[in-house]
Amino acid sequence: MSIVAAKCTACGAPLEVNDEHKEGYCPFCGTKYVAQDVIQNTVNNHYVTNNIESAVIQGGDTVETLYGRFDAFCRIGDNASASDVAQTMCKKYPQRAVSWYCAAVVDRAADLGRIAAAGEQIDALPLRMQLPAPASLIERAKGLPVREARQVIRTAHDDVLRNGGNNTQLPQFAVRDAAPEAVRKDLANAKKFLTDADRAAYADLIRKAEEGLEECEWRYGSLEEHAAAAAREMQARIDAWEADFNKLAGRKNKRLTAKNVVRTVFVVLVAAVVVYIVLGVILSF
C-alpha cells in the first residue's frame, strides 16, 4: 500500500489518496474524487461496450462503424470476431486502406502460427530420418553370384542416397509453405489506397500492421536459417551413412573378388585335368 499526493479539483486542498481506494471525498469541501485509472478503465469499457453492443453486421454499416467494432474486439482479445469484421470490411470496402490494415493485423497471428508450425516440423525432420543399416543392405547379396551380388549392393546404395537426398529438401519445402504471404498481400493492397487522411486517422493501426509484418519477416528469416541448419545436419547423416556403407561394401567386394578368383582357378584346374585325361586317352592308342 502507498499514499499518492493529489489535489481536490473543487477547492484545491491537498489530498493523500490511498492507492488501494479508488474513490473518496475531500475532507475540506466534501467533493467526491475518483482515481485516474478508474476513469480510464471506465472510458475504455464504455468504448468497447458501445462498439460491441451492435456486433451484428448491418448492411448499412460504414467503414468507420466496422473499424470501431474491429478495434473493440481487439481490445478484449476476441481475435476470431475481429477477423470476421476485417473480412467484412475487405469485402464491403476493398478500396479503403483501413480495411486491409485491419486484415493485416489479424492475419499476423495466422502467419506467425504457420511459421511456428513449420519450425516444429523442421525440428522433427532429422529425428525422423531413418537410414537402413548398411550391413542389412549388404547382407542381401549373401549367396548370390558375384555379378548379381555386386548389382544388388550398388542398387541398394543408390536407392538410399536418392531417398535421403530428397529428404534434405524437406526443410526448404516447409519454409516455402510458411511464408507470411497473407500479411504481405494485405499491406500491398492497403498501400494502393492509402491517403494522408488515413495516415492521420489510423496511425496506430498502420503502425501495428507494419510492426506485425516486420515481426513475421524476422521470424521467417530465422526459420530459413533453421531450415538450412537442419538440411546440413541431414546431409551430414547421409555422408556418414555412405562412408560406413562404402567401408563395408569394400570388404564385401574384396571377398567377392577372392571368391571369383578361387572359382576361376578351380574351373581352370578342372579344365586342365580334363584335357590331360583326354590327351592321355588319345595318346594311349
Give 40-60 pLDDT, tens digit per residue: 443 344 444 444 444 444 457
Query: Is residue 37 over pLDDT 60?
Result: no
Query: Is residue 230 over pLDDT 80?
Result: yes
**Mean pLDDT along residues 92-121:** 95
Q: What are φ and ψ of residue 4, in 5° steps?
A: -110, 130
Q: Which residues contact 189 (CB under 8 A, 6 or more apart)?
A: 94, 100
Nine cell digits for residue 2? 502507498
Taking the CB of residue 282, how many other CB atoms lie within 10 A of it? 8
Closest among 44, 84, 85, 81 to 62, alpha carbons compared: 85
Please say whether the dihedral angle defined by the alpha carbons of residues 65, 190, 108 and 114, taken in this order, is positive or negative: positive
Confidence class of residue 85 from pLDDT cuts 50, 70 and 90? very high
Q: Is the model more confident about 283 or about 241? A: 241
Residues shown for the chain? 285
How many angstroms separate the CA atoms of 170 and 213, rounded? 25
Q: Is the model more confident about 40 or about 280? A: 280
Q: What is the pLDDT of residue 31?
A: 62
Query: Is residue 36 over pLDDT 80?
Result: no
How many angstroms separate the CA atoms of 89 and 95, rounded? 10
How many angstroms separate the CA atoms of 144 and 100, rounded? 69
Query: Is residue 26 over pLDDT 70?
Result: no
116-123, long-range: CB within 8 Å, 24+ apart, which pairs?
Answer: 116/219, 117/178, 118/174, 118/175, 118/177, 118/178, 118/223, 119/223, 119/226, 121/174, 122/171, 122/174, 122/175, 122/223, 122/226, 122/227, 122/230, 123/230
Q: Is the model more confident about 277 or about 84? A: 84
How many angstroms separate the CA atoms of 6 and 112, rounded? 45
Lowest average pLDDT, out of 48-62, 72-86, 195-209, goes to 48-62
**Mean pLDDT along residues 18-39:** 55
What pTM was computed for the model?
Answer: 0.65
Query: Is residue 142 over pLDDT 60?
Result: yes
Closest among 173, 138, 159 to 238, alpha carbons compared: 159
